[in-house]
Amino acid sequence: PETTRKALVQARIGQGKFKERVSTYERSCRITQVNNPTHLVASHIKPWRESNNEERLSGGNGLLLTPSVDHLFDRGFISFEDNGELITSPVADTRSLERMGVQPTNVGRFNTDQKHFLDYHRREILLKSAS
């Protein structure tokens, strides 16, 4: 029996350029304060799959996040107000968030481009109440 398989993968062209552009706005993960680029992911605020080509590579459509924070942000468990206040989804497990270092906090203000994309994230990605 085979334990490996061949796969055809569609690569995200420009991902390196995207991280470079996000790095002009962001220097570290706003939640964990990790600032080593090796440990940071350039996370799209408005997801890649829902963005046009220009939005996909816009530095204003990104945040530098550690992988665990990126996971929470991408899946809508957390988001941010324009003024930097952390928003926690009512469906997020508070104890898990705390163990990942996510505490209610203000992470600092965002620029105009980021605010535009964060508005989309809050409306379309942030998970609402389970009821």
Residues 79-129 have pLDDT tens digits of: 999 999 999 999 999 999 999 989 999 999 999 999 999 999 999 999 997
pTM of the model: 0.88
Asked if 24 contacts 63 with a C-beta cutoff of 8 angstroms, the reply is: no
Question: Per-residue pLDDT tens for 13-63?
Answer: 667 899 999 999 999 999 999 999 999 999 999 999 999 999 999 999 999
**Bridge partner residues of 68 (DSSP):** none
Residues 6+ apart with CB under 8 A from 89: 76, 77, 78, 79, 126, 127, 128
- Nearest C-alpha neighbor of 43 from the set 93, 11, 79, 7: 79
